[in-house]
Structure 1
Amino acid sequence: MNLKQRNIDNLTSLWKLVNRRANAYVVGDIFDYGIVNYSDWPNRLWFINRPNQGDLDLVKKTISTATTKITVPYWDIDGNDYEPLLKKNGFEKVLEQVGMATDLTKGNFIPSEIDLNKVKDEGTALLWESLFEKAFNYKINHKLLLKSYGEIDYLIAYDKTSPVGTALMYCSGKEVVGIHSMGIIPEMRRKGYAERMMHSMLYEAVDKGYNYAVLQASAMGKGLYEKLGFEEQFLMRNYVLPQHV
Structure 2
Amino acid sequence: MKEIPSVINDNIKNLTSLWKTVGIPLDSYIKTPEFEYCKIKDSDWPNRLWFTKDVKQKDIDLVKEIVKSGNLTIPYWNTKSKNEDALFLKNDFELKFKQVAMYLKPKVCFEIENEIEIKRIYKKSEMKLWVDLYPKSFSYKISESILVNTNKDIHYYLVYRNNRPIGTAILFQTNNIVGVHGVGVVPEMRKRGFAAQIMKSLINVAIINNMDYVMLQASDMGRNVYAKLGFKELFEIKNYVAR
What corresponds to 2:172 in structure 1? 170
Against the structure 1 CA distance between its residues 80 and 38, is the aligned structure 2 distance closer, same or farther, given a 3 Å change threshold?
farther
* Residue 61 (structure 1) shift: 2.4
Q: Secondary structure at the match of 2:239?
A: strand
Q: Gaps (5+ residues) in structure 1?
A: none
Against the structure 1 CA distance between its residues 161 and 24, is the aligned structure 2 distance closer, same or farther, given a 3 Å change threshold?
same
What corresponds to 1:208 in structure 2? 209
What corresponds to 1:150 in structure 2? 152
* Residue 76 (structure 1) shift: 2.4
Question: How many percent of aligned residue pairs carry the same amino acid?
Answer: 37
Q: Distance in 2 between matches of 1:108 and 1:37?
A: 39
Report runs of 4+ in structure 1 exceeding 4 Å deviation: none
| Corresponding pairs, count | 238
What corresponds to 1:19 in structure 2? 23
What corresponds to 2:35 in structure 1? 31
* Residue 79 (structure 1) shift: 4.8
Q: Secondary structure at the match of 1:124?
A: helix
What corresponds to 2:100 in structure 1? 98
Q: Are 2:48 and 1:47 equivalent residues in the alignment?
A: no
What corresponds to 1:181 in structure 2? 182
TM-score, structure 2 as length reference: 0.94
Matched-pair contact (CA < 8 Å) for 2:155–2:170: yes
Matched-pair contact (CA < 8 Å) for 2:78–2:84: no
What corresponds to 1:227 in structure 2? 228
TM-score, structure 1 as length reference: 0.94
* Residue 139 (structure 1) shift: 0.4
* Residue 160 (structure 1) shift: 2.4
Q: Distance in 2 between matches of 1:228 and 1:138?
A: 27
Matched-pair contact (CA < 8 Å) for 1:135–1:183: yes
Q: Distance in 2 between matches of 1:95 and 1:112?
A: 33
Q: Distance in 2 between matches of 1:63 and 1:126?
A: 29
Q: Secondary structure at the match of 2:110?
A: coil
Q: Distance in 1 between matches of 2:191 and 2:86?
A: 38
Q: Distance in 2 between matches of 1:184 and 1:127?
A: 14
Q: Distance in 2 between matches of 1:141 and 1:51?
A: 31
- More moved, 80-89 vs 160-169: 80-89
Q: Distance in 1 between matches of 2:65 and 2:196?
A: 43
Q: Distance in 2 between matches of 1:194 and 1:26?
A: 34
What corresponds to 1:197 in structure 2? 198
Matched-pair contact (CA < 8 Å) for 1:112–1:197: no
Q: Distance in 2 between matches of 1:121 and 1:24?
A: 24
Q: Gaps (5+ residues) in structure 2?
A: none
* Residue 45 (structure 1) shift: 0.2
Q: Secondary structure at the match of 1:65?
A: helix
Q: Deviations over 1:175-234 (max 9, x none)?
A: 210000001001111111111111111011101000110101111111110010001111
Q: Distance in 2 between matches of 1:65 and 1:234?
A: 29
